Structure 1
Amino acid sequence: MNADQLQGLTAAILGGALRVGAPFLFVSLGECITEKAGRINLGLEGVLVLSAMAAFGGAYLSGSVWTGVLVAMLAGAALAALHGLLCSLPRVNDVATGIALMLLGTGLAFYLGKPLIQPQAPQLPPIELGTWSSTPAVRAALQINPLVPLGVLLAGALWWGFANTRAGLLVRMAGDSADAARALGYPVPAIRIAATAAGGLVAGLGGACLTLFYPGSWNEGISSGQGLIAVALVIFARWSPLRCVGAALLFGGAGALGPALQSIGIGWGYHLFNIVPYVLTLLILVLSCRPGRLAAGSPGELSSAR
């Protein structure tokens, strides 16, 4: 491998980490908000797929890519709010409801999105970070999703908000000790519904990244389980919004490894490299979820049998 190939490979992995990691970032931040309030939303895969379809449909029908982004956020918030409302009912299990909502969201997306498989919608304008290079491959690899800086700023705002605002304190209290929150007169179900809806709103941006930037089209296999992987990603990040940024980049880089190697002519084992994110997910769950031991940073209510 010569110097140009090494430069191209490095740029391809870095750029791929930013492109592939963008949906992971927003979905993991959304799940972080939800779990901080003491609720698990396994339906985020359905939220991601539905919001991806809604983003593409909104951009295609309106002709405005930012309208598509807004529609994606609203679709994600609506499905997540339904999850929050159902889970607030007596004797309703978070996990079972999440699986049901995942099937509902993907089913709705597949049904409503059938007319959208062939058309082309407006795409998010990239941020050019590779103008310093004279190599076309490097310039192409460093075209960045404009929503990524928003995601980083959002992660910082959430980190600060959880520690320094009344709303953040209420969310953490509902997640750490629902009994303490009730004793102080706070409505735990309402807090959790609001946090779940907010998590879906943020996750909807991840869906917009899929269809309005990379890969930039709508099809029924567009998510590849990224919504489910986000649950493991939040565990890996120890429920910290800032660590979600690093975790998303790690998973994005793992997902970009195969295409990056193929871009410099290394095609052997291409499909094996595509399974790296899933292997990482299994490894994280095995190392983090040990019987009889809570993961560091875990909200106390997540350990309750519900």
Structure 2
Amino acid sequence: MNSTISLPWTIKISSYLYDHSLAGKAIYPAAEILVELAGVVRRNFPQAGIDNLTEAFFPRFLPVPANAQSLAVSVQMNAVENNGIAASLLTKVELKTGNISRVLEHGRVKFSSLSGNKVPVPPFSVPEKLPGECIAVPPEVIYRELVPFGKSYRNITGDLTVSRAGAVACLSGGGTGADDDLLGSPFPFDAVLHAACVWGQRFGGIVAFPVGFSGRTIYKKTKKGITYRGQVIPVQSGEKALVFDAWIFDLQGSVCEEIRGIRMQDVNKGKMKPPDWIRATTL
């Protein structure tokens, strides 16, 4: 495949997706965009590997209209190095001025096979231990005041322990109708982003949303109905953007996923502020 292939695609909207909302409007999750792209790649290139994801970017939200049954999108794909496939999820909007349309990109990523069977050793010894002064934030507080999503996306299930060194928590594999065959359940990955968001509110002073990552390697697919442990560590902290590495473990301590270079950004340009109680006294 030397040229770009563009295909129409229909995303089926399940009711649980409306729990992923911002200011009362449902937003299609980045984790689910990756699942949709993986499904299109697997359908059109059955031999392509999808367990190693690199250079992910989510340039703009994909809104989900009220009571929608489906979303009409298109997916562009082209071959990249290491026998990989690059895929982008796009929508077309009609502009109000004349018969002009504009193509919007909502997510893109490169898929390839995992090379070798070596599982990484995280840069810490025990996943549930954090150095430094810690606070514990209960999940009901997280989802009421910091990451106000609905029931289906409340998958930090125990107290989130947060220090300057990072954040750790128990994560749920979820229990709704999401696909957990292609990339594993999207819910633990999504919940790790919630942990990074809370860290950003405490030590970065911003409400940051995921805009991409440099790499995500899936060693063992997470499954719905199963409990996991997640840990994030800050790699870079700035006024407008934060970068994290993250790991998802099973309860025996084996690495299920490693996510590198998660980029979190204040996409609302300061319109959303962390509550005073979560902010560290010195940022």
Give TM-score scaled by structure 1 length: 0.23
Q: Which has the higher strand share?
A: 2
Q: Which has the larger radius of gyration?
A: 1
Q: Report the TM-score when normalising by structure 2.
A: 0.24
